[in-house]
Amino acid sequence: MEELLQIAQRKGCKAEVFFSEGHSDIVSFEDSKLKNIDSKILSGVGLRIIKDNKQGFAYTRNLLDKEELVNNALESLKGGVDGLFDFPLTCNLKVLDTYSPEIEQISNNLLVEECKRICDIILQKVTCQINITAQKTISSLRLINTHGTDLFLQSSSYALSTEMLYPYTSASLYRVITGKSFKKADDEYIDFLSNNYKLSLNEVKARSGKMKVLFLPETLYVLLWRLQTAASSSSLYQNISPLAGKIGEKVFDEKFSVFNDPLNDSLPGARAFDDEGVQCRQFPIVEEGIFKNFYYDLYFAEKLKTDSTGNGFRGGISSKPAPSLKHIYVKPGDKTFSEIIASIDEGIIVGGALGAHSGNIPNGDFSIGISPAIYIKDGIIIGNVKDAMAAGNIYETLNNIIAIENKTYLSHGGNCPSILFNDINVIIK
């Protein structure tokens, strides 16, 4: 990596070298039977350069010719991408506990046994197709630049996802367990899946119209995706953010608070620095309904004449950093999941979302298929509804919060609770 910097410097460039490596063991069960055991090792190097106020980028999975990689980055300068910012000098970061040595003791046999144990317990409660994936990952990255930054991170993670499929459909109820090392699925996890699946198994009829809708932590990303887009410095720079000029204003329900929380090392994926070497920090995006902050990487911070917030992350070795909220935390409320269900006279649980990309995302619009659409009547789950859709706009939906669950769960959208909304338009064929 140091040699890459030296070559780039000799060619008159400021440079940043990003190295990433990951080793994963993955066990998958299909219909409660072992389907596959797989191991993956991925590594690569990304080189970003700045020369004559232009930015170049190249990457490789196999660093056989360092000169060629630098020359490829130089060639990309012809694209004319602005490079008016400078790479940071970063040191004296907060020390985080991101790696558990116990991860090394997790064998494939242990992953298989845990998946089988979960299947056996659930099948004693209800008959269904169960698919489970369990994965352990050890990853590391190193980032150096010509400004003197030299940072290293080693991380460990364990994740198990259980999905229970509804008969003759691809719809499923699912939940994920995560940690820095192995976590045995407890009774609460298994009961949530088996009990709610069993209650919602029968197909029922329901009316269309505005009603109460409960987004699970696993589906809340539909709304958070629109919020992230609006709060991104990229949207602000392109003048497409509905939140432009609204810092300090109440935009959402006062029960709603969202934070950038990268320093919480009780969870896997904690970071003291982003993929550009900028120090990460916790800060609110929305606090008690008030919009507080946009988030920035180096590129858009320079464009908008401010500082990076430490939110420049890559989608992988093959991409340059871009503004990204990788560590969303939605503040929990004061109601248990059971209390929220009992409070619903009539409504739908969004168990899965189809077409989450549909609608004008920067504007906050959403239109999703709900699969499964779990139906609640008089405080009780009585079945599931076929061919249901929900549509709305987050600037209305997030102002109609009835209740927020008192626990959070790490899922695709972040560390989130379930949230119950009022008056969401639901269409049922």
Domain boundaries, the chain: 2-193, 203-429
Q: Which two tokens stand for residue 361?
A: 């995302």
Of the candidates 208, 164, 197, 174, the residue with the CA atom closest to the CA atom of residue 389:
208
Share of the chain above pLDDT 70, in %: 100
Tell me how far apart the alpha carbons of residues 133 and 112 are, in angstroms, rounded to a whole number.
10
Res. 14: pLDDT tops 90 = yes
Q: Are 98 and 273 in contact (CB under 8 A)?
A: no
What is the rounded average pLDDT for all residues in the chain?
96
Per-residue model confidence as pLDDT tens digits over 260-273: 999 999 999 999 99
Q: What is the pLDDT averaged over residues 354-377?
A: 95
Specify the 3-state DSSP secondary structure of 230: helix
Tell me how far apart the alpha carbons of residues 90 and 200 are, in angstroms, rounded to a whole number.
52
Domain 2-193, classified CATH 3.30.2290.10, yes or no: yes
pTM, rounded to two decimals: 0.94
| Beta-bridge partner residues of 176 | 161
Res. 413: pLDDT tops 90 = no
Specify the 3-state DSSP secondary structure of 32: coil
Q: Is the omega angle on the peptide bond into residue 372 within 30 degrees of 0, that is, cis?
A: yes
- Please give the order of strands across the beta sheet that includes 129-145: 54-60, 33-51, 14-30, 129-145, 150-165, 172-179
Neighbour count for residue 199 (Cβ, 10 Å): 18
Check residue 166 and report its DSSP letter: P
Per-residue model confidence as pLDDT tens digits over 141-172: 999 999 999 999 999 999 999 999 999 899 99
Tell me how far apart the alpha carbons of residues 56 and 50 are, in angstroms, rounded to a whole number.
6
Helix 2-10 and helix 66-76, axial crossing angle in degrees, nearest 10: 50
Res. 1: pLDDT tops 90 = no
Q: What is the pLDDT of residue 217?
A: 97
Please give the torsion angle defined by the CA atoms of residues 239, 244, 245 and 246, in that order, rounded to the nearest 10 degrees: 170
Q: What is the pLDDT of residue 237?
A: 98
∠ Cα 100 159 18 (to 5°): 65
Q: What is the pLDDT averaged over residues 190-204?
A: 97
Tell me how far apart the alpha carbons of residues 111 and 31 are, in angstroms, rounded to a whole number.
16
pLDDT band at 415 (very low <50, low <70, confident <90, very high): very high
Residue with tokens 């069960």: 29
Could you list the beta-strand ranges (E) of 255-351: 258-260, 283-287, 290-291, 312-313, 322-323, 328-330, 346-350
pLDDT band at 412 (very low <50, low <70, confident <90, very high): confident
Per-residue model confidence as pLDDT tens digits over 272-286: 999 999 999 999 999
Q: What is the pLDDT of residue 143?
A: 98
Q: What is the pLDDT averaged over residues 385-399?
A: 97
Tell me how far apart the alpha carbons of residues 374 and 166 are, in angstroms, rounded to a whole number.
11
Q: What is the pLDDT of residue 111?
A: 98
Question: Parallel, antiparallel, or unpaired for β 346-350 and 373-377?
Answer: antiparallel
pLDDT band at 247 (very low <50, low <70, confident <90, very high): very high
Check residue 420 and report its DSSP letter: E
Tell me how far apart the alpha carbons of residues 44 and 59 are, in angstroms, rounded to a whole number.
7
Could you list the beta-strand ranges (E) of 82-149: 129-145
Q: What is the pLDDT of residue 54?
A: 97
Q: What is the pLDDT averaged over residues 397-414?
A: 95
Q: Are 178 and 165 in contact (CB under 8 A)?
A: no
Per-residue model confidence as pLDDT tens digits over 271-325: 999 999 999 999 999 999 999 999 999 999 999 999 999 999 999 899 999 999 9
Distance of CA 208 to the CA centre of its chain: 31
pLDDT band at 63 (very low <50, low <70, confident <90, very high): confident
Q: What is the pLDDT of residue 141?
A: 97
